[in-house]
Amino acid sequence: MADIMKFNERGSKTVIENGTVFSPKFDHDGLIPAIATDAVSGEVLMVAYMNDEALSLTLQTGEAHYWSRSRGKIWKKGETSGHTQVVTQILTDCDQDAIWLKVNMSGQGACHVGYKSCFYRSVELSEPGASEPRLVFSETRKVFQPKDVYD
Amino acid sequence: MADIMKFNERGSKTVIENGTVFSPKFDHDGLIPAIATDAVSGEVLMVAYMNDEALSLTLQTGEAHYWSRSRGKIWKKGETSGHTQVVTQILTDCDQDAIWLKVNMSGQGACHVGYKSCFYRSVELSEPGASEPRLVFSETRKVFQPKDVYD
């Protein structure tokens, strides 16, 4: 079941950008970035990476699978937390080197820290022209406590 | 002005995930992925990459700058097309290895192919259980003609 994308060799730039042949471009580590957004709110939930097998599994099962770079293994989102992601649409971009998943989460949070989205902090300069950026929490409420899920 | 992020060394996992110190993690090529979404509609417009200087310029000017991997240079979005991106918010994720920009576009399209978003095709299996994915155009109307902008 894996390696289904390898059937398709990448053609010319014109074919890649304007055609209907799916030929994802994996980087030199064999990975492609995948953005998951909430299918209802549109909020960006997380950015992760897929290898060929994770992308195949996602297509075949309809549930998001990623490649864990820290653990060096396929990772079905929610396999530990129960917060799985059911994919409603998968898109790719012009040069087919990124994946966008629209998902419905079965649990409350996409982020292992406990927030709904991994993007719970904004980057701000303390004043215009300042050179020291800082982080400001844009989400302050955790939707679950990590110790309840992972311990 | 560049290198402002290098003031901050990355601390422990707890500090990176729960703190207010911005310490973005660039990959072994010195890049961090940046997702741009439409500040109004929430649509994912594009995925690009920033080096330290592009991120600094984006923070300082409020307009999106990226690193062009194909051209090997800093790239102010819209410098050729006129379709600049004014940033309304910059966020980072839990482990600070991705950037999310919410932007207002000054032009019609974010994609050099002519579509509003680079993600104008969805990936679909021809039937459940099939192993051959194909691309289906989810956007069919170009908002500009590339030859009018780039030639």
More confident residue, A151 or B32: B32
Q: Is residue B108 part of a domain?
A: yes
CATH number of residue B65's parent domain: 3.10.20.810
**Coil/strand/helix, residue A15:** helix
Q: Cα(B32)–Cα(B10) distance, rounded to whole angstroms?
A: 15
Q: Is residue B133 part of a domain?
A: no
CB contact under 8 A, B93 and A118: yes
pTM exceeding the 0.80 threshold for the entire prediction: yes
Q: Which domain holds residue A114?
A: 4-8+29-150
Whole-Å CA distances, B110 to A34, B54, B107, B122:
19, 18, 8, 17
Complex ipTM? 0.91
Domain count, chain B: 1
Q: Is residue A137 part of a domain?
A: yes
Of B79, B58, B75, B86, nearest to B2 (Cα)?
B58
Q: Is residue A21 part of a domain?
A: no
Q: Is residue B130 part of a domain?
A: no
* pLDDT given at position A8: 60
Q: Cα(A24)–Cα(A42) distance, rounded to whole angstroms?
A: 23
Of A75, A85, A94, A80, nearest to A31 (Cα)?
A75
User: What contacts B71, CB < 8 A, 6 or more positions away?
Assistant: none
Q: Is residue A23 part of a domain?
A: no
CB contact under 8 A, B123 and A94: no
Residue B135, both tokens: 């691309």
Of the candidates B33, B121, B133, which has its C-beta nearest A33's C-beta? B33
Q: Is residue A108 part of a domain?
A: yes
**Residues of chain A with confidence (pLDDT) below 70:** 1-8, 128-129, 151
Q: Cα(A100)–Cα(A93) distance, rounded to whole angstroms?
A: 8
CB contact under 8 A, A19 and B43: no
DSSP of B9-70: ----HHHHHHSSB------TTS-EEEEEEETTT--EEEEEEE-HHHHHHHHHHSB-EEEETT
**Which ranges in A20-142 belong to alpha helices (H)?**
52-61
Q: Render pLDDT for B99-150 as a digit per residue (tens, 0 to 9).
A: 999 999 987 788 989 999 999 999 998 776 677 899 999 998 898 888 887 7
Q: Is residue A35 part of a domain?
A: yes
